[in-house]
Structure 1
């Protein structure tokens, strides 16, 4: 049986929470240092999860559900763009990888906010490092997750049932 709209939003939220817990585990237990594109992707995972949680709590009528669904499609699509950029950087030959940039805290201390954001969103040589889980790069797993989140939100947008539960 297909879960109702509210339950589906909770499932989206829990999926995003699980993704963030996995990222925290990889960073703090496995000692994998996230690059700037990884951090940006995490931001879109969190945003997608928050949208779904608010939608589940709010439980609006049809128009509100559609607004949440559209926001829930836009957020993972933007995240997928950054995951795609990271995959592209990872596919470059070693001599074409951009130089590694300064650390995140240094960027925000030294550069104006918008310049630091631009550098963060572009990625650098650090983003070309490939960490794999089950033989697939983390950027590819994240891209797959973003596509799945966008598809579920698309379903939320076009579904016909009006049950909130």
Structure 2
């Protein structure tokens, strides 16, 4: 039943994914500005991936033809995969923190002071901030839940891409 709905209404599905991403970004802003949690470099990269999924699914939902929504669904799928990778790496760092965790530079300090070829590996290496678990829900950290959401988005987008051409 769900698979049939995905096949019949892919643009509405993209709109729902876009709204879910906006809600997640809003919750992240709430955690940062109201609760007072400061995002680590890997959290910020996950936000950018979430913004990418929201933008691509939003454009795909608004565009008319099948070629458009498929193209933007594929781009959103790539962003969701990237976000899942970053969230999985942060979850790994939280479960198995490095022996010598230091609070490294902040995200913007890395980008401003180093070339991108040097700052990207620094981001994925993580820092003391990236291993900290400041908030949990049902036993999972923000990175864990972010990973689950990115994987769900990727699965739904993959199903839409695979089944979308069959009924159109």
For residues 76 and 100 of structure 2, the distance between their equivalents in structure 1, rounded to whole angstroms, comes to 33
Residue of structure 1 equivalent to 2:33: 28
Q: Give the one of 14, 17, 21 matched to 1:12.
A: 17
- Detail structure 1 runs of 4+ shifted over 4 Å in the superposition: none
Match in the other structure for 2:112: 109
Asked whether 1:151 is paired with 2:155, we answer yes
Q: Which runs of 5+ in 2 are unaligned?
A: none
C-alpha contact (below 8 Å) 1:52/1:72 kept by paired residues: yes
Query: Going by fraction, where is helix more abundant, 1 or 2?
Result: 2
2:124, 2:40 → 1: CA distance?
10
Assess, with a 3 A threshold, how the Cα gap between structure 1 residues 101 and 59 changes in structure 2: closer, same or farther: same
- TM-score, with normalisation over the residues of structure 1? 0.87
Question: Among 25, 37, 46, which residue is 1:41 paired with?
Answer: 46
Alignment equivalent of 2:143, drawn from 139, 143, 152 = 139
More off after superposition, 65-74 vs 132-141 = 65-74
Aligned equivalents of 1:84 and 1:113: distance in 2? 22
| Secondary structure of 2:65's aligned partner | coil
Once residues 97 and 18 of structure 1 are traced to their aligned partners in structure 2, the CA distance between those partners, rounded to angstroms, is 36
The number of residues matched between the two structures is 160
Gaps of 5+ in 1: none
Question: 1:121, CA displacement in angstroms?
Answer: 3.5
Distance 1:64 1:98 in 2: 45
Q: How far 1:97 moved relative to its partner?
A: 4.8
